[in-house]
Chain A
């Protein structure tokens, strides 16, 4: 089963611009996480937002969560070429934990 679905599938922006990626999911969740994957590497955890939180910040990252719409967004401000990567949202199935389900990801390309 695929819980989260990211939108858009691909995004190309200029360095310095903001990048926004969206994620929708299907069932109730305890929390939602965002990960980054550089080409050919493993995923790196960026940020976790709990179901009772609406917004969270970490450096240039801002994540929002709307549980009524079952959606989340990841905003990267003042993007840099090094932000070029794929970004995935991930949610737990409502089974009390352990299983983390990923979406297909958004490929972000930041042009220098």
Chain B
């Protein structure tokens, strides 16, 4: 079974801090994604990557950056955390195919910015 591991289940950070959310997958997937999930808004795509060192903006990239130095690891960076970035963050991965293959999700990181 594919395993997508997010480094923290819960994080509490202060406004202005730099925050790193780490995600590792063990199935050699080419594609990796970061979503945030908020009540009533569903999942919104922040960034995705289809290869090492490649990244593409999703629908809400402002205030975030990403890093993909190795195929198995995709990091989400909050350069200067703000209270409106309090949310559940979900990492996912999938095989690269010409059409969408199923996404495999981690269990999420619930981030609180105070």
Contact = CB atoms under 8 A, between A and B. Distances in A.
A56 interface: no
Given A43-B90, A88-B42, A104-B40, A98 B102 contact: no
B82 interface: no
Given A30-B100, A98-B31, A100-B100, A105 B90 contact: no
B42 A43 contact: no
Contact of A40 (B31, B56, B108): B108
Nearest to B31: A98
Contacts of A1: 59
A101 interface: yes
Nearest to A9: B40
B11 interface: no
Given A98-B31, A98-B50, A104-B42, A45 B104 contact: yes
A40 to B, nearest CB: 7
A48 B100 CA distance: 9
Contacts of B31: 98
A50 B98 CA distance: 13
Contact of B107 (A2, A35, A42, A96): A42
B97 interface: yes
Interface residues of B, number: 30
Interface string B84-113: 000000101010011110111111101000
A40 B107 CA distance: 8
Interface string A88-112: 1010100011111111110000000
A96 B48 CA distance: 14
Interface of A: 1-2, 30-31, 33, 35, 40-45, 48, 50, 88, 90, 92, 96-105
